[in-house]
């Protein structure tokens, strides 16, 4: 008990120490004159009533709404949002946030609303960092400075199937008399692989131009058991084939060690959503901001994360992420954001197929995953689920036959690092009223 208490005290001291340099710099500068005027665009009720959340002007399904159109030079310094809607509307994942600078045609910020603000997996939780924070219990805040020379435009697109009944926001920005020509533009980009189906490392950012990388949120959901974060961070700068920066583990890049633990946050790093046991279905949200150690690039940057042990990249968990960086325009094309259904977890998509009795589609999905996954565990899981799906469809005879074939072609308990696949098949056959025939396995 004493050891755990001491460990918490030491961690708290480290967190406080990690916060001091940036906060001290802000306080040191607090007395300096401000050469700008402050302005705000918000969702306040223009009639003077209390419909501040656009209740009388709801955001319709499929609609893209312009939240702010700012003309002239300036800098956004604080962006706050919160929203409510019907229970079946997944606001965090179904609302797409986009920000455009100086009249550009393609956005420099494009992400599902929740993931942009650090809320992964469609879940609300709180954390506090210097550039991003969630206030109790659904107040989403961004403090990244976002300068612009000619203007800024912020939009949200409702890709859910229902109207958003309440949508509140405030955009606080500085009005400058003339443009600041020495500043770069803020960018944020969403990516996902659900599940990862390649031996390649997961890409967090792949950008071209001149700028500097300032951090990311990584969201992981386990599709298989055991520790998922053994992969190293890999950062390539300016097209060099040789690594510029290479780390020692996923949790190490995010400034933790020996896993992530539960609900930690600090000014530069944190794991506001996590747990100590690594089982199927566990969800993690972790972040790292490079404030004093931003990583500059002149031509390009590629930020990647291995998945699996050493350099094998042998797991097939669900990964998604939002990277944050500054750069001169123009920026490279962003990857397409998947439609809402594809942004759900692998497990929830598969469960939906079964619930809707789309058994052929379910088996087709698992066949594709089994043929492409780098994970031996996922290959076996795919085969087991395909065999078992016949029972779920109502054909016990066909299921028993398929499970028996699965039983006969998989190793026994002595060679299986998890619970034996043959044992699982035998249990399922018995549940279906069948009897396992002798089979030695391969």
The phi and psi torsions of 267 (rounded to 5 degrees) equal -65, -35
Of 3.30.720.110, 3.40.50.300, 2.60.120.1390, 3.90.1150.10, the CATH number of 37-341 is: 2.60.120.1390
Mean pLDDT, rounded, for 136-164: 95
**Cα separation, 309 vs 87, whole angstroms:** 39
* pLDDT tens by residue, 184-219: 999 999 999 999 999 999 999 999 999 999 999 999
Query: Which is it for strands 109-112 and 95-101: parallel, antiparallel or unpaired?
Result: antiparallel
**Cα separation, 224 vs 316, whole angstroms:** 8
**Cα separation, 181 vs 172, whole angstroms:** 21
**Cα separation, 7 vs 23, whole angstroms:** 25
Closest CA relative to residue 228, chosen from 267, 266, 254, 191:
254
Is residue 76 within 8 A of residue 172, CB to CB? The reply is yes
Q: Which fold has domain 357-431?
A: 1.25.40
Q: What is the pLDDT of residue 21?
A: 53
pLDDT of 8 > 50? The answer is no
Is residue 52 within 8 A of residue 168, CB to CB? The reply is yes
| Residue 415: pLDDT band with limits 50, 70, 90 | low
SS3 of 281, please?
coil
Is residue 265 within 8 A of residue 339, CB to CB? The reply is no
Question: What phi-psi label fits residue 216: left (phi over 0), alpha (psi between -120 and 50 degrees) or beta?
Answer: beta
Domain boundaries, the chain: 1-30, 37-341, 357-431
Chain-centroid distance, C-alpha 232? 18
Higher pLDDT, 31 or 10: 31
* pLDDT tens by residue, 151-163: 999 999 999 989 9
pLDDT of 311 > 80? The answer is no
Instruction: Quote the pTM value.
Output: 0.91
């Amino acid at each position: 008990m004493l050891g755990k208490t001491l460990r918490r005290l030491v961690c708290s001291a480290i967190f406080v120490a990690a916060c001091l340099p940036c906060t001290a710099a802000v306080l040191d500068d607090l007395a300096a004159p401000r050469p700008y005027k402050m302005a705000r665009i918000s969702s306040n009720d223009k009639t003077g009533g209390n419909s501040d959340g656009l209740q009388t002007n709801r955001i319709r399904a499929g609609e893209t709404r312009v939240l702010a159109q700012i003309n002239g030079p300036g800098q956004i310094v604080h962006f706050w949002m919160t929203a409510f809607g019907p229970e079946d509307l997944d606001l965090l994942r179904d609302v797409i946030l986009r920000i455009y600078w100086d009249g550009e045609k393609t956005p420099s910020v494009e992400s599902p609303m929740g993931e942009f603000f650090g809320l992964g997996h469609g879940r609300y939780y709180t954390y506090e960092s210097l550039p991003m924070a969630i206030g109790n219990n659904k107040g989403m805040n961004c403090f990244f400075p976002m300068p612009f020379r000619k203007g800024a435009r912020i939009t949200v697109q409702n890709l859910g199937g229902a109207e958003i009944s309440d949508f509140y926001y405030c955009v606080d920005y500085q009005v400058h008399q003339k443009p600041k020509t020495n500043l770069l533009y803020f960018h944020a980009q969403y990516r996902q692989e659900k599940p990862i189906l390649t031996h390649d490392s997961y890409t967090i950012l792949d950008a071209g131009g001149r700028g500097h990388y300032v951090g990311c949120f990584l969201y992981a959901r386990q599709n298989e058991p055991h520790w998922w974060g053994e992969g190293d961070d890999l950062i390539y700068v300016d097209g060099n084939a040789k690594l510029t920066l290479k780390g020692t583990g996923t949790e190490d890049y995010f400034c933790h060690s020996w896993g992530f633990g539960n609900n930690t946050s600090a000014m530069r790093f944190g794991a506001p959503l996590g747990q100590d046991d690594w089982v199927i279905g566990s969800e993690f949200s972790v972040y790292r901001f490079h404030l004093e150690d931003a990583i500059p690039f002149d031509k390009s940057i590629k930020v990647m994360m291995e998945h699996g042990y050493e350099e094998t990249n042998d797991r097939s968990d669900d990964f998604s992420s939002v990277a944050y960086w500054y750069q001169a325009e123009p920026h490279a094309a962003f990857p397409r954001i998947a439609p809402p259904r594809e942004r759900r977890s692998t497990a929830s998509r598969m469960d939906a197929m079964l619930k809707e009795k789309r058994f052929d589609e379910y088996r087709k999905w698992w066949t594709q995953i089994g043929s492409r996954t780098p994970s031996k565990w996922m290959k076996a899981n795919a085969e087991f689920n395909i065999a078992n799906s016949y029972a779920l469809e109502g054909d016990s005879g066909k299921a028993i036959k398929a499970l028996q074939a699965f039983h006969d072609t998989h190793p026994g308990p002595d060679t299986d690092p998890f619970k034996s696949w043959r044992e699982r098949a035998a249990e399922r056959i018995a549940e279906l009223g069948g009897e396992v025939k002798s089979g030695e396995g391969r």
